[in-house]
Each structure stands twice: as C-alpha cells, then as structure tokens.
C-alpha cells in the first residue's frame, strides 16, 4: 500500500501480466493488483519499444527530477518523449482509466491490450505487439542474464 513501509523489495515491485480490453473511447480496466500498488492517481507516458509506461506519482517525480538535472544537450529528446506525453490517470469507480488518444496512437493500442508489471513501472502494450516482442527474445534474455547468477 502507498505510504506503508515495505517489508521486502517484492512489496514495491510491480509484476505480472494481464490481458485487458480497451473500449472505443479509450477506457481500459486497469488490473486491481497493479492499481493498488500505483495508488489513487498515476502517470501514463510514452514508453519505448512501442508501449506506454505507467508510474506511480512518486516514482515519476523522481525520474522527472533526474531528467531535469541533465544538461539540455543530453536531456531534450528525453524531456520531449517522457514529459511532454505524460498525463495523470485516475481510475473511476469500476477501475477504468482513460488513455488519451495521442498515447493510444503512439503505442498502436487497439481493442486487445496487455498490461505488464515491470519492476518500478507498468507497461501497456497492444496484444499483437506484445506477442511479437515476446516470441523471439530468448537470445536477448540469455545475454541479459549472463553474469547475474541465475
């Protein structure tokens, strides 16, 4: 729960994969477990690899401060991508959030979507894109695991 002292890293880790759907107005049911961890309001912004990133407000503020502290020559593209696309989301009583059309278009979101908890953020993917990304990544995963004592 937001504000409580975590007992372990797993208490603050966002994880899991959830198949969801999006209606024609851009509303989606955000998974209850992830909603609980993110808090009453959270931030959705453009991510990388064709997805959207979702952060709790505290984590987003920390990342924004880091970006703001960088020299303009290094930060301008990151500022434009991370900050300019950001919007606040607040789930309604049914747990649905509205994803703005600009963000839906940026991530190619259609009716079938996937929400994945990924450490300190969630990612929102178009289901077809998610399946593509995850169908051919074993070599990349193996390379990433090297040296991590797995």
Indicate yes or no: pTM above 0.95. Answer: no
Task: Give the closest residue to 89 by CA, choosing from 102, 98, 80.
Answer: 98
Q: Please tell me the distance from the alpha carbon of residue 21 to that of residue 26, in angstroms, as a whole number.
A: 10
Q: What is the pLDDT of residues 12-36, one digit of tens each?
A: 678 899 999 999 999 999 999 999 8
Q: Please, what are the domains in the chain?
A: 12-145 (3.40.1550.20)
DSSP state string for 32-49:
HHHHHHH-SSEEEEE-ST
pLDDT, tens only, 71-111: 888 888 888 888 889 999 999 999 999 999 999 999 999 99
- H or E element that contains 114: strand 112-119
Q: How confident is the model at residue 142 (pLDDT cuts 50, 70, 90)?
A: confident
């Amino acid at each position: 729960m937001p504000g409580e002292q975590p007992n372990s890293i797993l208490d603050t880790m966002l994880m899991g994969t959830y198949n969801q759907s999006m209606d024609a107005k851009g509303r989606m049911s955000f998974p209850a477990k992830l909603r609980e961890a993110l808090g009453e309001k959270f931030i959705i912004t453009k991510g990388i690899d064709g997805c959207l990133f979702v952060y709790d407000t505290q984590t987003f503020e920390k990342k924004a401060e880091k970006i703001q502290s960088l020299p303009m020559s290094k930060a301008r593209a990151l500022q434009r991508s991370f900050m300019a696309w950001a919007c606040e989301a607040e789930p309604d009583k049914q747990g649905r959030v509205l994803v703005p059309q600009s963000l839906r278009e940026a991530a190619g979101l259609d009716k079938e979507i996937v929400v994945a908890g990924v450490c300190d953020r969630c990612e929102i993917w178009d289901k077809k894109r998610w399946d593509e990304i995850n169908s051919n990544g074993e070599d990349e995963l193996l390379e990433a695991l090297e040296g991590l004592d797995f």
